[in-house]
Structure 1
Amino acid sequence: MPSFIRRKRLMTVLIGFVILVVLIGFSMRDRTELTVPEKFIQDTVGWAQSIFHSPIQLITNTTNNIQDMFHVYEQNEVLKSRLAEYKGLIQKNQQLKKENEELRATIDKTESLSDYTPIQATVIARSSERWFEQMTINRGEEHGVAKDMAVITSEGMVGKIKSVGAFHSTVQLLSGFDRSNKISSWVVREGEDNVFGLIEGYDKESGRLLLEGIKQDVELKKGDVVISSGLGGVFPKNLRIGKIDKVVNDQFGLTKTAYVEPFADLFDINHVMVVDRDMQSIPEEEQGGGEQQ
């Protein structure tokens, strides 16, 4: 009995093996059509793949898009930072270029004022409350600066020394002058004698200096140059001040007042020269032959 059972089991295994081999051979042969069970299995697997593939693909695409957005944001921040640095470099370069031009002009002016031996200085501060009236320079008594010395740029006069410290000084700008600050001046006329006048203030509305005391019979033209005469004992002579813009009669009709446009930009000053009034002035014959009044 036991041997019969063993034989039955062996036969079952052999039959199963044969069926398996037959199925394998059947499935491996080239066929153009699938059986119904194969089609069912293929479609079932395809549907399952479709069901799982779509959300997985959506999650993958969303994750990639989010990562790309972060990358774009980071790149944008880097580009903004570099753009800000680039703008800063451009502004710095423009400022350095401007200062270089001012320094070159100052050096050239210093060479042309060899009779005065100017003291070069840099503006280090301007008060917000008195921006149009005063500024501070980095030169003082230790550098030879004294009160009431004239202060000029390469374009022309900008003011005078108001107060002096050991290493710094305060400059009273022409735009802060009133009638207590006078500049004895010549109006240089081409082909004619110079005309005497006094700078006695600044008209803030027009941005012009006021040249007072001009005789009624004197004719001045727009563009005539105004220079210091040196007669007041404060400023050296022949320092460029400005040019005539317009001339009007005073309120009493006895003299004329000329509005003088300063040569120097009084509101944008970086480098100046302090000129000692006691040093030798330019020879009289270089003034243009004008008579002193």
Structure 2
Amino acid sequence: MPQFFLNKRLIVLLVSIIILVALIGFSVRDREKLSWPEQFLKDTTGFIQNIFDKPVQLTAGFFENVKDLENTYQENKRLKTRLDEYVDLKTKVQDLEKENTELRDVLGKKESLRDFSPIQATVIARNPDMWHEKVIINRGKIHGVKKNMAVITAKGLVGKIKTVTQFTSTVQLLSSMDPKNRISVGIYSEKTPIYGFIEGFDQKERLLMMKKIPYDVKIKKGSEVVTSGLGGVFPKGLPVGKVEKVESDQYGLTQVAYIKPEAVMYDLNHLMVVKRTITTVDPTESGGGDL
């Protein structure tokens, strides 16, 4: 009996091997149609793969997007840093270009001086509450600066020395509202020069006012206004500005010429104190020279 079961198992094994070989040969054969077991197996496998493929792709895409976002953040951070460096560098370049232009203008002005010598200075302080009144420069008595000396830029006159210490000086600007701030000037557009004083500043229109001009004198718009040199302290011919308009005073007895300054009053950095070579009038005897 045991021998019978042993032979039966062997027969089943042989039959199974034969069926397996037959199936393998059947499956590897080129066929246009698949058997229904093969179709069922492939459809089942494809369905299961499709179920698991989408979540796997979504998960992989999520982590890939997170990584891309992190890379984008880091790159954006580096670009912002470089942009800040670029803005800082651009600002420095603009400041250097402006300073270079100003110094070149000052140098060119220095070479054109004749009857006076310049004392180069730099603005070291300016009170916001008195922005149009005065500035402080880094030159004083030990540098040869004296009270009432003219102060100019490469463009033209900006004011005069108000007070002096050993190492610094205060410059009273032409735009100052001080009624005693008077500058002797002349208009030389006509055959006969027209003389007068700068007495005041129109803050609204940012124009200097040359007052007490005779009512019958005709002045053309655009006429050059320069220092007259008659005060004994300022040299003659320092540019002040150009006539913008002329109006009668409130009484109709004289005229007021409104003058656009050559120099930019609100942006002052490099200045020159003008030391006149020849002084024809003693400032103490003339009541303050060009004051």
Q: Same fold (TM over 0.5)?
A: yes
- Give the aligned partner of residue 53 of structure 1: 53
Give the aligned residue type for 2:130.
Answer: R
Q: CA deviation at 1:39?
A: 1.4
The aligned counterpart of 1:99 is 99
Listed one character per residue, the Cα deviations across residues 40-74 of structure 1 (whole Å, up to 9, x for unaligned) are: 11111011011111222233334334443444444
Residue type at the aligned position of 2:98 = K
Say whether the 8 Å CA contact 1:211–1:259 is kept in structure 2: yes
Match of 2:222 in 1: 223
Counterpart for residue 115 of structure 1:
115
What is the distance in 2 between the residues matched to 1:242 and 1:273?
17
Name the CA shift for 1:8/1:166 in 2 (closer, same or farther; >3 Å).
Answer: farther
Q: Which residue is 1:133 aligned to?
A: 133
Structure 2 residues not aligned, in runs of 5+: 281-291
Q: Sort the Cα spacing of 1:249 and 1:43 in 2 relative to 1 into closer, same or farther, 3 A.
A: closer
One-letter code of the match for 2:189? Answer: R
- 1:226 is aligned with what amino acid? V
Q: Secondary structure at the match of 1:100?
A: helix
Show the counterpart of 2:24.
24
Letter in 2 for 1:230: G
**C-alpha offsets along residues 131-161 of structure 1, whole Å, 9 cap, x if unaligned?**
1222232333343323322110111100112
Distance in 1 (CA, whole Å) between partners of 2:244 and 2:113 is 27
Deviates more, 1:181-190 or 1:216-225: 216-225
- 1:265 alignment counterpart: 264
Q: After the TM superposition, which residues 115-194 of structure 1 pair with which residues of structure 2 at under 5 Å, given as runs?
A: 115-190=115-190, 192-194=191-193
Deviations 1:198-235 (A, max 9, x none): 22222223322222333344332222222222232442
**Matching residue's letter, 1:247:** V
1:291 maps to: none
Q: Rate the CA distance shift 1:119–1:10 in 2: closer, same or farther, 3 A.
A: same
The separation in 2 between residues aligned to 1:24 and 1:185, in whole angstroms, is 118
- The aligned residue for residue 283 of structure 2 is none
3-state SS, counterpart of residue 99 of structure 1:
helix
DSSP-derived class of the 2:212 partner: strand
TM-score, normalization by structure 1? 0.82
The 1:38–1:201 alpha-carbon spacing in structure 2 relative to 1, beyond 3 Å, is same
Question: Structure 1: how far apart are the matches of 2:253 and 2:33?
Answer: 124
Q: CA deviation at 1:4?
A: 5.3
TM-align CA RMSD: 2.8
Q: Which residue identity does 1:141 align to in structure 2?
A: K
Which residue number in structure 1 is paired with residue 204 of structure 2? 205
- Report SS of the residue matched to 1:93: helix
SS of match in other structure, 1:124 = strand
2:248 aligns with: 249
Q: What is the letter of the counterpart of residue 137 of structure 1?
A: I
C-alpha contact (below 8 Å) 1:237/1:281 kept by paired residues:
no
The CA distance in 2 between the partners of 1:20 and 1:254, in whole Å, is 131
Map of 2:195 onto structure 1:
196
Q: d(CA) in 2 for partners of 1:231 and 1:129?
A: 33
Corresponding position of 2:286:
none
Q: How many aligned residue pairs are there?
A: 280
Please say if residues 115 and 235 of structure 2, whose CA atoms lie closer than 8 Å, have aligned partners that are also in contact: no
Q: 1:118 to 1:38 in 2, by over 3 A?
A: same
CA shift in 2, pair 1:26/1:218, >3 Å: closer
Q: Closer, same or farther in 2 for the Cα pair 1:47/1:117, shift >3 Å?
A: same
Any idea what the Cα deviations from partners look like across 1:114-144, whole Å, max 9, x if unmatched? 4322012222332221112222323333433
Q: Tell me the alpha carbon deviations over residues 231-276 of structure 1, each in whole angstroms, 9 at most, x when there is no partner.
A: 3244232221122223333344443332222111111222211112
